[in-house]
Amino acid sequence: MTNESVQYSLQDQVATIRIDDGKRNALSPQVLREINQALDRAESDRAIVILTGRESVFSAGFDLKVMQRGGVDALRMLRAGYALTARVMAYPYPVIVACNGHSLAMGVFLMLSADYVIGSRGDFKIAANEVAIGMPMPRVAAAVLRNRLGPAAFQRAVTLSEYFDVESAQSVGFFDELVDPVDLMTRAGNRASEFKKLDPKAHTVSKRRIRATLIRKIRFSIPLDLLDAALMGLRRV
């Protein structure tokens, strides 16, 4: 299955979903729709998922052009992105993110919704930079960050928009491991093979059980974050 910006491939019950818009992998309404379609396909195939980006970038976050135009389209994009975090967290099979490089804002929140995150070594930056560009941190985003980062790193990431290099990103919890870029997809495939040994039902029940409160918080927070965005008029992106 190939869409304009998201490619889907399946091999040995492992689905690779690759985001590649040829640029910064902006999470536009179309890209978010295509990711959801790919997840529909993967779930139908009962597949472990490897979610990855393109050379040197996983995702730079929401599409700024849509944000700047504002209106209903921007709010729908925000809602789709925030809801995607809960969907990935509850996906019934293991989800691995193979982060190719830079990951910013909504790209970080999508990345941290996975079960296992592999980063690439290199001169890349990881940041939830909303405060730096004039946006209060959305409740959904803060909940996702808090779930993965230690308290001190969480405070710096949210209130100071700290940009983490890949080594420090691993040390505070953004990544579970780092590999050289040439080894990224091989390592993700090896991890997927290991995760096949898990009992699928036990995996699903366990992940949903320990994330139930977080997923409820995300779903409850989405309309509040959309209201904040509407009141701000999406002037600052």
Give the domain CATH number at 62. 3.90.226.10
The answer to whether residue 218 sits within a structural domain is: no
> Among 186, 200, 214, 230, which Cα is nearest to 48's?
200
The 10s digit of each residue's pLDDT in 4-32 is 899 999 999 999 999 999 999 999 999 99
The answer to whether residue 29 sits within a structural domain is: yes
Average pLDDT over residues 40-54: 98
In the chain, the number of structural domains is 1
Task: Give residue 237's pLDDT.
Answer: 38
The answer to whether residue 190 sits within a structural domain is: no
Question: Could you give the CA distance from residue 237 to residue 226 in angstroms, rounded to a whole number?
Answer: 14
Average pLDDT over residues 23-46: 97
The 10s digit of each residue's pLDDT in 160-192 is 999 999 999 999 999 999 999 999 999 999 999
Q: Are 190 and 143 in contact (CB under 8 A)?
A: no
The answer to whether residue 119 sits within a structural domain is: yes
Q: Give the number of residues written for the chain.
A: 237
Given a cut of 90, whether residue 3 has pLDDT beyond it is no
Average pLDDT over residues 52-77: 93
Sign (positive/negative) of CA torsion 69, 70, 73, 75?
A: positive
Given a cut of 80, whether residue 140 has pLDDT beyond it is yes
Given a cut of 50, whether residue 236 has pLDDT beyond it is no
The answer to whether residue 198 sits within a structural domain is: no
Task: Give residue 1's pLDDT.
Answer: 61
Average pLDDT over residues 93-100: 98
Range of the structural domain that residue 105 is part of: 6-182
Average pLDDT over residues 200-226: 98
Task: Give residue 234's pLDDT.
Answer: 58
Task: Give residue 134's pLDDT.
Answer: 85
The answer to whether residue 206 sits within a structural domain is: no
Given a cut of 90, whether residue 232 has pLDDT beyond it is no
Task: Give residue 135's pLDDT.
Answer: 87
Average pLDDT of the chain to the nearest whole number: 95
Residues 6+ away with beta carbon under 8 Å from 112: 144, 145, 147, 148, 174
Task: Give residue 231's pLDDT.
Answer: 86
Q: Are 104 and 59 in contact (CB under 8 A)?
A: yes
The answer to whether residue 79 sits within a structural domain is: yes
- C-alpha neighbours within 13 Å on the C-beta side of residue 8: 21
Given a cut of 50, whether residue 219 has pLDDT beyond it is yes
Q: Which of 30-44, 63-77, 138-152 has the lowest mean pLDDT?
A: 63-77
The answer to whether residue 151 sits within a structural domain is: yes
Q: pTM of this prediction?
A: 0.95
Average pLDDT over residues 51-76: 93
